[in-house]
């Protein structure tokens, strides 16, 4: 059958879209929980729980591990002593995920043209 896109490009496109969505989510979480103790713990716990569920599946262990690290940072962002550093790391990792996702999508679209 005539597929519109090669199978390996579909996987790369999904990784890129996940990176973009994860980057936007991390940057929005940074603004939501920075300096607020209770929402940071609740949201961090939810992120940890969801990531732990992903981490237990063999085909999505890397996604789960990244999510576990994000959950710990989200929970730590509400603490008074380390909250500033955790918020900075959340913002930087959000920018990194966003940039990596955009780059992956760009590479897929560039390979489709040729």
Over range 43-67, report the average pLDDT: 82
Token reading at 64: 């789960």
- pTM beyond cutoff 0.85: no
Return the pLDDT at 2. 53
Question: Across the chain, what does the average pLDDT equal?
Answer: 83
* Number of other residues whose CB lies within 10 A of the CB of residue 16: 20
Report d(CA 92, CA 48) in Å as an integer: 19
And the tokens for 86? 């955790």
Residue pair 96/23 in contact by the 8 Å Cβ criterion = yes
Condensed to tens digits (0 to 9), the pLDDT of residues 58-110 reads 777 777 888 888 888 888 888 888 888 888 888 898 899 899 999 999 998 88
66 vs 86: CA distance, rounded Å: 15
pLDDT tens digits, one per residue of 6-24: 777 888 888 899 889 988 9
| Contact between 54 and 67 (Cβ < 8 Å) | yes
Residue 1 pLDDT level (bands cut at 50, 70, 90): very low
Domain layout of the chain by residue ranges: 42-97
CA 32/CA 35 separation, integer angstroms: 9
Q: Rounded mean pLDDT of 54-60?
A: 78
How far is residue 31's CA from residue 87's CA, in Å, rounded to a whole number? 8
């Amino acid at each position: 059958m005539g597929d519109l896109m090669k199978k390996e490009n579909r996987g790369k496109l999904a990784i890129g879209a996940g990176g973009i969505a994860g980057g936007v989510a991390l940057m929005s979480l940074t603004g939501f929980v920075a300096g607020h103790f209770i929402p940071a713990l609740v949201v961090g716990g939810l992120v940890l729980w969801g990531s732990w569920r992903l981490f237990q599946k063999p085909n999505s262990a890397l996604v789960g591990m990244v999510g576990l690290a994000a959950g710990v940072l989200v929970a730590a962002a509400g603490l008074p002593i380390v909250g500033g550093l955790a918020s900075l790391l959340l913002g930087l990792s959000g920018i990194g995920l966003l940039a990596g996702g955009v780059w992956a999508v760009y590479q897929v679209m560039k390979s489709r043209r040729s």
